[in-house]
Structure 1
């Protein structure tokens, strides 16, 4: 994937295609490669934007879900995006939720997949162990239904992050912030059409989490994907893109015709 990483002020981001803005927020161990199939599919009809979240660049006091939301808000304001379809995976979904609750005016729709904000297992039963490649490999594989999705390149990326003491401290800070920042009582304030795409085999944010989001967000629809873990846009990109395209196409119709 060879997309130009643009820079404006302190913000680094990808922007591909033309049309309504589809803005993608990656998760805690997310990388631009997570969205490769999604970008390729939707850049034909949408302006696909991926800000690179400063997971390890904020000072420790702002290394929180709220700190990331403020960064996203400033980025959106600087770029002047309007009528945004805001999509977030895992921690990125949590940031998206916080943003739409604080600044709903520019958001046309919300898409969540494997989002935190209600419940998540994080790294499982323990924090990441530095220097233990096999442990990191197994934990990365647990993100997916098919362990083969955790390529050596992906495991190497996660291992590099978890082998850096400062980055591990910030991962733990973000994970604890996500657990503290439970949005259950606020989700009924979301008015925008919301799409929930969940892996039936997600062990980080299990299927019941998707059902609870569906119950709490008024104008939401939930789609489960079989043989799929925590990152459907990576593991089952064709199914994911088909569900997302159907949702976005419905929003193009006059309001009176939307079921």
Structure 2
């Protein structure tokens, strides 16, 4: 699928379909292609929008999860969005949590998949052997249950990122910000419907993270996908879409 990236008023984003809005937030290493099957399926009935989060464009001192949440709000205001479903994977889930707490009047429901915010086994914290392609390949494969999901294209993309000094400094700063910003004491304030769709074999944000979110967020439901790692919408797109569909239908 070819994505047409719109560039307007300093924002880069994908928009496809018509109807109620699904606003998707990608992770730290997450290219827009991670959501390919979700866009394909849901743009038939919804307006699917994915803003490119400016992870590599922020001044180093302000690189953090709260800054990304503020950026999302500027984007929401620019697009004049309201009453939307917010869906986030990994770091994008963390940003979605912060956003839902800061601006509850805009968000109708929340979907988290492999979200940080409580505990995560971070991508590295550092990259001691980032110039080693095999090391980076192993790290990317670790994200998934089936290492075959880590295509050469994906590994090449991550290898390029971590060997770009400007980008890797911001990746590490953002990862540290996510680890520092623990939301255990705040998420009970989220009262909108929340779906947790989790890979049962997630090694980055393990199953006990999902269970903790489920315990702490009052109006939440937890769904497992077997033989699946940190990015269910990539590794098990049909099951992810099916669970998402069930949740969205309950909102009607």
Matched, 1:251 2:251: yes
Q: Which residue of 1 aligns with 2:120?
A: 120
Aligned residues: 252
What are the superposed Cα offsets for residues 125-170 of structure 1, whole Å, 9 maximum, x if unpaired?
Answer: 7536331100000000000000000000000000000001111111
Do 2:37 and 2:237's aligned partners in 1 also have CA atoms closer than 8 Å? yes
Asked if 1:220 is matched to 2:226, the reply is: no
Q: Distance in 2 between matches of 1:209 and 1:128?
A: 27
Per the normalisation by structure 1, the TM-score is: 0.96
Query: Structure 2: how far apart are the matches of 1:167 and 1:153?
Result: 18
* CA distance, structure 2, for counterparts of residue 6 and residue 196 of structure 1: 30
Is this contact kept in 1: 2:11–2:51, CA < 8 A? yes
| Matches of 1:79 and 1:171, distance apart in 2 | 27
2:87 — aligned with what?
Answer: 87
Q: Quick check: 2:20–2:46 contact (8 Å CA) kept in 1?
A: yes
Question: Which residue is equivalent to 1:8?
Answer: 8
Runs of 4+ in 1 over 6 A off after TM superposition: none
Q: Structure 2 vs 1, CA of residues 56 and 128 (structure 1 numbering), >3 Å: closer, same or farther? A: farther
Match of 1:42 in 2: 42
1:44 aligns to what SS in structure 2? coil
User: How far off is 1:124 after superposition?
Assistant: 4.6
Match in the other structure for 1:19: 19
Cα contact 1:211–1:222 (8 A) shared by 2 = yes
Contact 1:145–1:227 (Cα < 8 Å) also in 2? yes
On the 8 A contact 2:125/2:172 being kept in 1, the answer is: no
Residues 232 and 240, structure 1, Cα contact 8 Å, conserved in 2: yes
How far residue 75 of structure 1 moved from its aligned partner, in angstroms, is: 0.2
- TM-score normalized with structure 2 length: 0.98
Question: How far apart are the structure 2 equivalents of 1:170 and 1:114?
Answer: 21
SS at match of 1:112: strand
Alignment correspondent of 1:256: none
The aligned counterpart of 2:163 is 163
Q: 1:124 touches 1:204 (CA, 8 Å); kept in 2?
A: no
Residue 4 (structure 1) shift: 1.5
Structure-1 residue corresponding to 2:134: 134
Shift of 1:123: 1.7
Q: Is the 8 A contact 1:128 1:162 kept in 2?
A: no
Structure 2 partner of 1:179: 179
- Could you say which residue in structure 2 is the equivalent of 1:32? 32
* 1:96-111 to 2 correspondences below 5 Å: 96-111=96-111
Distance 1:168 1:126, change over 3 A: closer
Distance in 2 between residues matched to 1:147 and 1:210, nearest whole Å: 22
For structure 2, list consecutive stretches of 5 or more residues without a partner in the other structure: none
- How far does the alpha carbon of each residue in 1:14-70 deviate from its partner, in whole angstroms, 9 at most, with x for none? 010011100000000000110000000000110000001111011101210011111
Unaligned 5+ runs, structure 1: 253-259
